[in-house]
Amino acid sequence: MRKAYLAISFVDSSKYKDLLAHLKKTLLAIDIELLIFVEKYHFKTGEEYEMMQTAFREIDSCDFLIAELSHKSIGAGIEMGYAYSQQIPIIYIHHKDVKVSSTALGIAKYHIAYTGAEDLGECLLGFM
């Protein structure tokens, strides 16, 4: 089974529960496990170094990284930069109504501006 890492804003991730559930289901149907770091791990203040080392290990274990950047996120940007430095392909996704990040676009292998969960799923299937 292949594995994908999802980079997403921790603060805004709760707004995307339905989208993420659909994304997990879509990828699982084509034998890809989706690791959502902000759901799997919880760190306390003072554990920032451990958090980032854990994120980097998880990214290293993945076949590609999906970055959901409908809301800007420094953490997701760091995760994207790390994946890029390790030559891990990046899929940059965002809702079509938000401004495109030129820096994210500059390192992404693929770019999807989606209208909703089903649209995103169909676009991702087109890449796989």
Q: pLDDT tens-digit profile of 81-99?
A: 999 999 999 999 999 999 8
The predicted model scores a pTM of 0.91
The amino acid that residue 99 corresponds to is K
Listing DSSP states for 101-123 in one string gives: -HHHHHH-SEEEEESSHHHHHHH
Residue-wise pLDDT for 45-87, tens only, equals 999 999 999 999 999 999 999 999 998 888 999 999 999 999 9
Q: State pLDDT tens for residues 11-45.
A: 766 677 888 888 899 899 889 999 999 889 999 99
Q: Give 6's strand partners.
A: 36, 66
Check: CATH 3.40.50.450 for 2-127?
Answer: yes
CA distance 109 to 125: 15
